[in-house]
Amino acid sequence: MIEWLSTIYKTFIIVGIIILFCTIWSNTPSSLTGSIVGYSFLVIGILLVLSELLKKKYYSQTAINISYIFTTLLPVIILLSSLIYMASMTSIYFDRISQGHVTESYYKFMIAFIILLTGLLTTFYKGTQNQEFKTTQTLNKVTSLFIYLIEIIYIVVIITLCIILTNFFTDG
């Protein structure tokens, strides 16, 4: 990957994770706004990664095959769509969360969400640093399957957070 673009997307992703870690411990309107900003930084970083993956495949003059889509592109697209979904859920239920009208399990699942997100991004980053990825631009199949496993758990946590936000709320 281009060195300066690599630095930029790594910075966006790291800043997004730091912002989410800093804002997860409070439910004030400013910390929820910070969470949405953190999601936005992550989305921008992941979009830059996705554009770089597509650009490299385009300029390599090789066709995008089904294996490349399933091992490299689809995990990134799933991650991107789930981050956009979480940002929209935080925006939709902004008042309920900021006023403390959510159960304690919401905060526990948010911590699990951030931990899984960090593990997912770390696994993807390590998968892109090995020699096989640098030559073929395709993630190792074992790494890709591990990312899918983390993403399944990650999506279950997101669905649980959605259920908590829509159905379980308290009076304060």
Q: H/E/C letters for each residue in the chain? A: CCHHHHHHHHHHHHHHHHHHHHHCCCCCHHHHHHHHHHHHHHHHHHHHHHHHHHHHHHHCCCCCCHHHHHHHHHHHHHHHHHHHHHHHHHHHCHHHHHCCCECHHHHHHHHHHHHHHHHHHHHHHHHHCCHHHHHHCCCCHHHHHHHHHHHHHHHHHHHHHHHHHHHCECCC
Residue 130 forms part of a structural domain: yes
pTM: 0.86
Residue 163 forms part of a structural domain: yes
Range of the domain at 19: 3-167
Tell me the pLDDT of the chain averaged across its residues.
86
Residue 31 forms part of a structural domain: yes
Residue 126 forms part of a structural domain: yes
Total count of domains within the chain:
1
**Which of 53, 45, 35 is CA-nearest to residue 12?**
45
Confidence label for 61 from pLDDT (cuts 50, 70 and 90) = low
Residue 22 forms part of a structural domain: yes
Confidence label for 2 from pLDDT (cuts 50, 70 and 90) = low
User: Residues 85-129: pLDDT tens digits?
Assistant: 999 999 999 988 888 888 888 889 999 999 999 999 999 888 888
Residue 172 forms part of a structural domain: no
**Which of 44, 46, 47, 21 is CA-nearest to residue 34?**
21
Residue 39 forms part of a structural domain: yes
